[in-house]
A and B are shown apart, each in its own frame.
Chain A
Amino acid sequence: MFKWIDRTFIKPVENSRMPLGTFILLAYGYMVVRNMLEGVLETPGIGFAATTIITLEILLMHFPLFYFMLFTIVILLIHFSTGHDIRKITRVLFIYSFIILIAPLADPLFRSGGYNLAYPGDPRMIWEGIKATFGLGKMYYGGSPGMLIEGYLGMILVAIYGGLRAQKTWRKVLSILLAPVILVVAVFIAGGLQQIVGAIFGGGSIGIANIYATGGLIGSATRKYSLVLLLPLIPLLALSLWLYSREKVRFLFRSLKPLLLIVFALGAGAGFLFGWLNLRDVLIGVPRNPFDYIALFALLVLGVLAGSASLFFANAYDPAVDAGARRTFRRAAGGLFILSMLLAWCLGYTALFIVIAFFVCGLVLHIPPLRLSRFAVPSSFLHALAVFLLVLAGYSLFGMERTFNLFPWQLGLAVFLPLWAVFLGRELILRRAGLKAEEEAKE
């Protein structure tokens, strides 16, 4: 029977020629459908808040980030336990991740009106759920029978897959035995992370959940939750990619320009500082909240990610780069673009709009037909503008929607003009080096 399962359901997916992006999109689709079903069939109807913006944040970012975190951890743990190709594990897991649709569909059958689902991050919730399965107590508030079915089914599927794919007998046994542990660890980390952060910062009079609703530089609780999920997800994704293809990741890292990335990150950080300096007399409540400092860290990460994406875009459309490498750069640029946009969204809508403008600069610079990077002056101008936009993104954490009204023009000129001059020098150096390389090639 297992061979039949392997032949019918697993191998065709593992050997599929669909690109990874399609698998990710498919899984994202399941997540959005799950959230919508939860909004309709479960008690609080959380998926569809009355405010469009909050609905968008919850439905398209916050909840999917939880699932991506969960799936990434499961993929990594299955890879470590079985030693199987991470590419194939990813494909299979994403395709069969539709089991997350079970809870909202099954719960109304157990209790009309469904349940008020919570993140299964509390160890008591998992323990009480296991006990409730055997009639040894009631379900912890936030859990539901549908969630239990998902958990047990997921465990069985992980065990079957691990048993089928591990090469050596000891690995097979280990993979099957570890299946429940993998699930519990992944659920606990992905669901518990937000509670752990809440518990760390929410000591004293503020409760775990309340710490997310304390305003600060990131006004919305759901964006704070998203940030707590997104920041650890970035290194986990990097690790997964490293296991996916070490050569490509090494190649991508080597093509980065660390000093330029520092300039980008520093620009964002300086913007944060300028915002604080300009408004500290009035905005006495910030930065004080722990999430304000997490926001600063996220801002620096945003500078690095957005800068890297821009560099990869440049390489992806550089005619001098060979076709295979260009494809790799395009994919990496796409991934980093999405992560940068998500980070900016977490930081605020003004930051998001500014980062979109940053990428417009990158596209105009590097993508045909314009490819302004061919000309020294426009290229240096757009590079300086890109860094300056990151300064504004940092400032926007304080200035919010009034950033452009508030940013002092003197400061703008004092930052932008030297940047433009320096980038002009850089362009000329690069052109000179390019000319020299061309001459050497001719000789």
Chain B
Amino acid sequence: MKGLRISAGLIAAAVLSAATVALLPPLLLGIGTLWFITPPLGLFAAAAILLRKNALLMVATILVVLAVSIAGVLHPMRLSPSQERKLTATGYFLKGQTFFLRGDYSQALTSYTESEKAGFRHPWVAFQRAYCYNFLGRSQNAYEIFARLMRDTLLGSLETVHINYALSALKSGNYKQGEQAFWQALNYNLQPGYCYYQLGIYYRLRNDQTKAEEMMTNAHRLAYNRSQCSSILGSIAESRRDYARAEEFYHRALRENPENIAVHVKLGSLLFRLGRLSDAKQVLLEGVRISEWIPINFRVYAMLLNNLGFVYAEEGQLAKAIPAFKQAIHLDPAFMDSYDNLAHLYIKNNRFSDAVVVLRAALKVNPGYRPARRTLDQLLAVPEAGQPQ
């Protein structure tokens, strides 16, 4: 009796399998070709069940999945217009995400905008757009979106929106809002180290050195980008002419990250100004040594070499100073100070034609660079004697 019941069950399962396998894929997907494929597969599955051949049933399953996949490649699936719209809109959003992850913010922004146009209205799209605007330097656009998201906390979570809003506000010139937002973020305890750091930068730009120092000290205490904080604290001390303290901070910054090349530049400059040429040279050479190893910011590397050239020039080592300036120009042709310094070194050593070549090269890179234009005009104004005025 028990066996008979199972047989009845098997028959029911066979019929069910045959029907679902044969009918559902072509009916639901609207792919005509499937009418020639799935019915035989349905019968195959039913036969496997009735014969109690599990392996054959699995083979039938594999064939069904393959058939639906291959038919899907050959013929487009029939979808409703709203589904098509949703796919396009969400697809553009995902395309934006792909570009975003790749760091192509311009393309990402275009895709997000397309997504919104196609009807995908989600706070996250707006958030991502604002993020792209921030990266592209269009801070006002970013600020407007973040401000809208901030008005309704349901639109975006606090921790993701708040900090970005604060930053975009400061960057777009809405200083009051930005400052308040960072203080508010500190009250919420959202990335406090980062908040203090940004506030430090803001107060420094506003020339409120006392507050800037306080903020940077707090950021440093919270171990946010320590070397950078120490470096900025050094700059603050330097601007107050407290050179001993500045030197202390710069040394601390180097202890915290020996590969922070910008600190080598700053410390080298400070020591040079203090007349400690030998110490300056040592710091700058160490920076150059590290720069040779690591993939770094070429502007900073060029500044380092430029300063080194200055030290060599001061020491009267022309043979070392000129290559240092030339290498700085080679590394970052847009860093105009190197042209200027090299040209003046040539003039000082009566190599006027070399100076003219350098200044012309500078003007080729940046035709509006006034110091080079002025010096070149002065040089070319005394053609006969070949002497500068």
Contact = CB atoms under 8 A, between A and B. Distances in A.
A101 interface: no
A363 interface: no
Given A283-B94, A400-B97, A277 B3 contact: no
A425 interface: yes
Contacts of A425: 10, 13-14, 16-17, 45, 48-49, 57
A432 B53 CA distance: 11
Nearest to A48: B223
Contacts of B250: none
B21 A410 contact: no
B20 A408 contact: no
A263 B65 contact: yes
B-side interface mostly: helix
A274 B258 contact: no
B349 interface: no
Nearest to B49: A425
A424 B16 contact: yes
A53 interface: no
A278 interface: yes
Nearest to B7: A432
A277 B72 contact: yes
Given A214-B102, A220-B101, A417-B24, A405 B91 contact: no
Given A141-B294, A282-B88, A285-B99, A415 B68 contact: yes
Interface stretch (B79-87, B182-190, B198-206, B275-283): B79-87
Given A405-B86, A413-B24, A418-B17, A113 B65 contact: no
A432 B52 contact: yes
Contact of A259 (B10, B52, B58, B69): B58
A60 interface: no
B244 interface: no
Contact of A418 (B25, B52, B72, B78): B25
B57 A422 contact: yes
Given A283-B91, A414-B25, A428 B258 contact: no
Contact of B13 (A112, A113, A399, A428): A428
B73 A277 contact: yes
A410 B29 contact: yes
B65 to A, nearest CB: 5
Nearest to B293: A141
B265 interface: no
Interface stretch (A10-18, A28-36, A265-273, A314-322): A265-273
B55 A428 contact: no
Interface in A15-63: 43, 50
Given A263-B61, A266-B66, A270-B69, A406 B24 contact: no
Interface string A390-412: 00000000111010011010110
Interface string A279-296: 101111110000000000
B92 interface: yes
A422 B61 contact: yes
Contacts of A219: 97-98, 101
Interface string A201-230: 000000000000111100110000000000
B86 A406 contact: yes
A401 B17 CA distance: 33
Contacts of B93: 402
Contacts of A406: 86-87, 90-91
Contact of A277 (B54, B77, B98, B191): B77
B315 interface: no
Contacts of A43: 257-259
A429 B2 contact: no
B254 interface: yes
Contact of A215 (B57, B60, B102): B102
B274 interface: no
Given A219-B98, A283-B95, A421 B86 contact: no
Contacts of B240: none
Contacts of A284: 95
Contact of B29 (A281, A376, A411, A430): A411
19 contacts: A113-B254, A213-B102, A257-B58, A259-B55, A263-B61, A282-B94, A283-B91, A284-B95, A406-B87, A406-B91, A408-B79, A411-B28, A418-B61, A421-B13, A424-B13, A425-B10, A428-B6, A429-B57, A432-B52
Interface of A: 43, 50, 111-113, 116, 141, 213-216, 219-220, 257, 259-260, 262-263, 266-267, 269-270, 273-274, 277-279, 281-286, 376, 398-400, 402, 405-406, 408, 410-411, 413-415, 417-422, 424-426, 428-433, 435
Interface of B: 2-3, 6, 9-10, 13-14, 16-17, 19-21, 24-25, 28-30, 45, 48-49, 52-55, 57-62, 64-66, 68-69, 72-73, 76-79, 83, 86-88, 90-95, 97-99, 101-103, 191, 194, 227, 254-259, 293-294
**Shortest beta-carbon contacts, A-B, top 3:** A282-B91, A215-B102, A259-B58
Given A113-B254, A405-B86, A418-B61, 11 more contacts: A215-B103, A279-B91, A402-B90, A408-B83, A413-B28, A418-B25, A421-B20, A421-B21, A422-B17, A432-B52, A435-B2
